[in-house]
Chains A and B, each alone.
Chain A
Amino acid sequence: MEFGLIAPVLLLLCFAIVDFAAAVRVQIGVDQAARAVANLIVQQSAVTTAQLDDFYIAGRDCYAFNSGTFSISAASVTFPPAPSGWDAADYSGHFAPSPGNLLTLSAGLAASSGGSVVGGDSTIVVQARSTFAIPLAFWPIPSSLTFTSTEFARPRLSFVVTAPN
């Protein structure tokens, strides 16, 4: 009787631990992918479409999981003198598949900048996202989880990394 009550709870906890281990590993992979792509973009003074596609491959390699979906967006956000706010160049269309453009995120970045960045400086924003199927999923454990990581980096060779087109 007691075993019948306790066993499902213990087994659920066991499965949850295994699933949590997998989830932590995937989140770290998504973090590494976003960081790698951001670092690669800020090493350039200008990026071409071919380079962005190549950086996407590097991010995908860092994610390192064959299962689940994976996508990346990137934007260059330049800060002109106040009060005109941020000027965002969206690179997202050059990544396939892309989770969408980052203009909304860039607007949030402008609000929190506090005007401490010199006009003409820019920030590279990269967002990686993955929807991962949970290996041992049954109620109440969800069948899939979406992991998102956003990285910010400053260009190293020039004030702005020029976008393609």
Chain B
Amino acid sequence: MTGLIVDRRGVAALEFAIVGGTFFLLLLLVIQFGLYYLQVTALDLAVQKASRQILINQAVTQTQFVTNIQADSFGLLQSQTIHVAVQSAASFGAITPVANIAAGASLPYDTGTYGSAVLIQVGYTGNALANLLSQFVPGVSSTIAFQREPSPQ
């Protein structure tokens, strides 16, 4: 037992195991943050582009809307983890935003009519950093509010 305590062989390997673990965790975090930032930016751009179809009064189904977002995301988002809630009313005060868009169950999809106030919330649940550190890092999501174009009369 005394021999084990005074034996200094393998100290470097032990220290590397401790420091290396933390270092690789840091490296992984840097990579994940890069991916997080890319996905947040890609989702924002894709939602803005897809939303313009609703803004200019085109008929878009929920499935088409998700497909359009995925298609404009530079391959960074998977369609099965994109959740969309679209609500419309005469005013924004009459709309209650979906509290947990990432839950993804029974989300509303109502694009309204000419001149409607429209609130679009899109959540993405495929990011590991946001899922693992959900207490500290906001989820990958995008929210857009706009008024549909008035009736062409």
A61 B97 Cβ-Cβ under 8 A: yes
**A96 → chain B closest CB, angstroms:** 14
* Majority secondary structure, A binding face: helix
A10 within 8 A of B: yes
A43 touches B147 (CB 8 A): yes
Q: How many residues of B contact A (CB 8 A)?
A: 36
Q: How many A-B residue pairs have CB under 8 A?
A: 92
Residues on A with C-beta less than 8 A from B117 are: 54, 58
Chain A count of residues within 8 A CB distance of the other chain: 37
Contact B19 A54 (CB under 8 A): no
Binding site for B on A (CB under 8 A): 2-3, 6-7, 10-11, 13-14, 17-22, 24-26, 28-29, 32, 36, 39-40, 43, 53-55, 57-59, 61-65, 135-136
Chain B contacts of A65 at CB under 8 A? 138
**Contact (Cβ within 8 A) A61 B40:** no
B26 contacts chain A at the CB level, 8 A cutoff: yes
Interface residues of B (CB under 8 A from A): 15, 18-19, 22-23, 25-26, 29-30, 33, 36-37, 40-41, 44, 91-93, 95, 97, 117, 119, 121, 129, 133, 135-138, 141-147
